[in-house]
């Protein structure tokens, strides 16, 4: 299977993890700000994302696990910042529901994350 298809599958698994954690926090702790719930959900989904991308999407990488992890942390933080900005603007300014704002944030951050992962974090030397 191509790395692009694996990337999509891993991103979907990490995204579903993110959504599940986000909505569980929102349900059980309704006083938590949505941006904080988004951050906590991102933290949980990170391991799904890294392990899946390292072992499936970019399994032919020649970079070490440590190098890939360091780079993927930076890549993921950049993706999360993009996601959080879109999410916050969509819910606070546009008045969108959380689920729609999350999907829009995922879409923009996902493209950015793919490019940074493919050409930097898991780069083939």
In 3D space, the residue among 120, 119, 106 whose CA is nearest the CA of residue 8 turns out to be 106
Q: Domain range for residue 8?
A: 3-121
Work out how many domains the chain is built from and give that number. 1
Rg of the chain, C-alpha, whole Å: 15
Sign, CA dihedral 98-104-105-110, equals positive
In 3D space, the residue among 89, 85, 66, 67 whose CA is nearest the CA of residue 77 turns out to be 85
What distances in angstroms separate CA 58 from CA 18, 51, 85, 100, 120, one per listed residue?
A: 21, 10, 28, 29, 11
Instruction: Report the chain's mean pLDDT, rounded to a whole number.
Output: 90
Residues 32-81 have pLDDT tens digits of 999 999 999 999 999 999 999 888 888 888 888 898 899 889 989 999 99
């Amino acid at each position: 299977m191509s790395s692009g298809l694996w990337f999509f599958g891993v991103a979907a698994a990490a995204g579903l993890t993110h959504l599940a954690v986000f909505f569980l926090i929102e349900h059980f702790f309704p006083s938590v700000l949505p941006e904080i719930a988004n951050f906590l959900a991102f933290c949980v989904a990170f391991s799904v994302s890294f392990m899946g991308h390292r072992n499936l999407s970019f399994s032919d990488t020649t970079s070490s696990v440590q190098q890939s992890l360091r780079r993927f942390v930076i890549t993921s933080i950049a993706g999360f910042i993009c996601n959080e900005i879109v999410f916050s603007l969509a819910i606070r300014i546009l008045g969108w529901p959380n689920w729609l704002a999350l999907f829009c944030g995922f879409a923009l951050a996902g493209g950015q994350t793919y490019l940074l992962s493919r050409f930097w974090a898991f780069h083939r030397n």
